[in-house]
Amino acid sequence: MFSVPTRTQYGIRALVNLARSPTHSTSAAEIARAESISPKYLEGIMTQLKSKGIVLAERGKNGGYRLSRAPEDIRMLDVVEALEGEVRPVDCVEDRSCCAQGGACLPRRFWIGLKESIDGYLASNTLKDVIEP
């Protein structure tokens, strides 16, 4: 059925790790060790999050990653889109011509509604919501 890609699961775990220690930078190796994620795989995820402005990277002896803003200012929709692109439960949500039925496809409204529900949920939740019990 539907599943959240591993990249997104790991990215959220890494961000939660950073949110728990907001006063200092944390290396990708430290996060990887704490979260049981492959360091090389995590580094790619962190690079994507950095390129989208969700985390900042600092070089040097005490370098590493830290959140670019407060957890309450990081929407989960931004995180998911940074790692996976736009949420699309099926391809026809964005391009009705990819379906042989085209404009006559009745289930397309259902898929669009599902996408809107997912986007709304992700947009209404922040990293703060994830880290608070």
pLDDT of residue 54: 98
Write the DSSP assignment of 34-54 as a string of letters: HHT--HHHHHHHHHHHHHTTS
pLDDT tens digit sequence for 7-45: 999 999 999 999 998 888 999 999 999 999 999 999 999
**CATH code for the domain of 122:** 1.10.10.10
- Whether 1 maps to a domain, the answer reads no
Domain membership of residue 107 as a residue range: 6-131
Decide: pTM greater than 0.85: yes
Domain count, the chain: 1
- Whether 16 maps to a domain, the answer reads yes
Q: Please, what sign has the CA dihedral across residues 110, 116, 117, 119?
A: positive
